[in-house]
Amino acid sequence: MKRVLYILLILAGAASMTGCQGYNNMVEKQEAVTAQWGNVQNAYQRRADLIPNLVNTVKGYATHEQETFTQVTEARAKATQTTISPENLTTESLQEYQQAQNQLSQALGRLLLIQENYPELKANQNFLALQDELAGTENRISVERNKFNQIARDYNAYIRKFPQVIYAKWFKFEPKAYFEAVAGAETAPQVQF
């Protein structure tokens, strides 16, 4: 009888240790998702910070483009006001965030097209430097979004595996959403000369 009791105690202790380790791993993975989300937001904030300088540089040359300036300013305001806390990274909230960022990207695209009508703007060193900074920032955003998706995938897979799935439900570890391609991204743009 004592032997059975010792075996049960050993098994209970082993199960408890496994549970503690699983919980701690979920916490670490959840924190990794939160940290990477901060990196994504940082990259988007860098882009938002560059926009006023780019708009002001273009305004100096393109005085007849007020509608475009207004669209960029409004899209920037909406993009910076749309935020998500790391605890609320649901598919819906991420889609809303992504939509605001995509609207800003489209407005920036229209702003950058203005240079075609103003040859002196194309040659302006400040404009060229800001354009390069913006291109580099867009690359950073892409890299950080990809890293976020990888870390979120790792976390989501971990909390769905046995026995973590049990602890995840007990302690309310929820799956995180992923960045997805923009609607229409599967169709390559047509370039015409």
Using CB atoms within 10 Å of the CB of residue 14, give its burial: 0 to 12 exposed, 13 to 18 middle, 19+ buried.
exposed
Domain ranges of the chain: 47-146
What CA–CA distance (Å, rounded) separates 94 from 192? 34
Q: What is the pLDDT of residue 17?
A: 60
What is the pLDDT tens value at each position of the chain, 193 positions in all? 777 666 766 666 656 665 567 788 989 999 999 999 999 999 999 998 988 888 888 877 777 777 888 888 889 888 888 888 888 888 888 889 989 999 889 888 888 888 888 778 777 888 888 888 888 999 999 999 999 999 999 999 999 988 888 888 888 899 998 888 766 554 544 434 3
What CA–CA distance (Å, rounded) separates 71 from 73? 5
What CA–CA distance (Å, rounded) separates 190 from 123? 27
Residues 144 and 39 sit within 8 Å (Cβ to Cβ):
yes
Q: What is the pLDDT of residue 193?
A: 32
Q: Which residues contact 135 (CB under 8 A, 6 or more apart)?
A: none
Which SS3 state, helix, strand or coil, does residue 50 take?
helix
- DSSP for residue 130: H
Residues 47 and 130 sit within 8 Å (Cβ to Cβ):
no
Give the closest residue to 22 by CA, choosing from 192, 179, 167, 171. Answer: 167
Q: What is the pLDDT of residue 37?
A: 92
User: How many other β-carbons are positioned within 10 Å of the β-carbon of residue 26?
Assistant: 18
pTM for the structure as a whole: 0.75
Query: b vs e for 152-161, b when ≥16 Cβ sit within 10 Å of the residue's Cβ?
Result: beebbebbee
